[in-house]
Amino acid sequence: MQLVNKVAIITGGAGGIGRGLTTAFVKAGAKVLFVDVSAEAGRSLERELGPAAQFLEIDLALPEAAATIRDAALKAYGRIDVLVNNANASTPAPLLQVDDANLEQVFHSSFLPTLRLMQVCHDALAVAQGSIINFASGAGLSGDPNQGSYAAAKEAIRGITRVAANEWGPEGIRANVICPFALTDGVRWWSEAYPEQAAHALSIVPLRRIGDIETDIAPAVVFFASDASRYITGQTIMVDGGGIKMR
Ligand SMILES: NC(=O)c1ccc[n+]([C@@H]2O[C@H](COP(=O)([O-])OP(=O)(O)OC[C@H]3O[C@@H](n4cnc5c(N)ncnc54)[C@H](O)[C@@H]3O)[C@@H](O)[C@H]2O)c1
């Protein structure tokens, strides 16, 4: 029970990796305010997990979403110890076809909500000596083909995470990035749409398998949410079976 007495906000917490994170955080003893656009999935997970998890249906693209989410977490559980910026929506496209709509989809679902939530949760995180965990991607680090807008948003998230680590470290707030590789519906779709890229991505994984959300990815995120990682900030951690080695 590494997260007893901790309160977490998890974005995109009703689907994919986020669903596994919400479940794992509750199992680790946390109380979780999880948000998503997917109302049905969110409500069913809320019923499954009971009073330790509260679902808020909201579109993170709305500028007022961040303050609404912070206020809902404080109203439900009284404090914010952990902010997990996991949500993302993006559409692959060759760089020559990246247009405003393509950029807006990913920046409005990932980068901007990440920045805004970090800003509005800053004071509560300072009180709690809290931890921010942002999600980026090996696709950004490697510059994968067809991932121009996604790579831009994800690398921007890594940039502000390092700035937060430097600016807010003296106040006791940590900020780290996780780059996962896990089997989700989106990854299944990508594997079918881009079979050669998917085969290559798996071929460079020394552990020779794609990660499982609950047993491979969630334990790493729980670690960064917990006091066990209290001397780690400003880092990007690959939870990808070793496909990319950060230097
Ligand atoms: N799955 C992987 O292997 C992989 C690899 C690299 C990076 N990532 C990153 O990990 C994170 C989770 O990925 P995933 O595969 O679980 O994605 P996913 O698409 O399966 O789930 C994303 C969740 O975010 C929600 N969401 C999207 N836009 C939203 C919005 N505007 N408002 C509220 N909720 C919104 C979706 O409804 C969904 O529940 C993402 O940041 C992704 O970029 C995943």
For residue range 52-79, list pLDDT tens digits in order. 999 999 999 999 999 999 999 999 999 9
Residue 224 located in a structural domain: yes
Measured from the CB, is residue 186 less than 6 Å from ligand 1? yes
Residue 77 located in a structural domain: yes
Residue 37 maps to which CATH number?
A: 3.40.50.720
HEC profile for 185-215? Answer: HHHHHHHHHCHHHHHHHHHCCCCCCCECHHH
Q: Which helix (H) or strand (E) holds 166?
A: helix 148-168
Determine the structural domain holding residue 169 and report its residue range: 7-239
Q: Which helix (H) or strand (E) holds 141?
A: helix 138-142
pLDDT recorded at residue 8: 99
Q: Ligand 1, atom 42: nearest CA belongs to which residue?
A: 88
Q: What is the pLDDT of residues 178-208, one digit of tens each?
A: 999 999 998 899 889 889 988 888 999 999 9
Residue 139 located in a structural domain: yes
Q: Which amino acid is at 181?
A: F
SS3 assignment, position 182: strand
Q: Which amino acid is at 88?
A: N
Q: Are 37 and 57 in contact (CB under 8 A)?
A: yes
Residue 53 located in a structural domain: yes
Alpha carbon of 7 to ligand 1 centroid (Å): 21
The question of whether 231 is a catalytic residue gets the answer no
Q: What is the pLDDT of residues 25-61, one digit of tens each?
A: 999 999 999 999 999 999 999 999 999 999 999 999 9
Residue 2 located in a structural domain: no
Residue 245 located in a structural domain: no
56 forms bridges with which residues in the sheet? 35
Residue 204 located in a structural domain: yes
pLDDT recorded at residue 45: 98
Number of structural domains found in the chain: 1
The answer, yes or no, to whether residue 115 has pLDDT greater than 90, is yes
The answer, yes or no, to whether residue 1 has pLDDT greater than 90, is no
Alpha carbon of 89 to ligand 1 centroid (Å): 6
Mean pLDDT of the 132-141 span:
98
Residue 93 located in a structural domain: yes
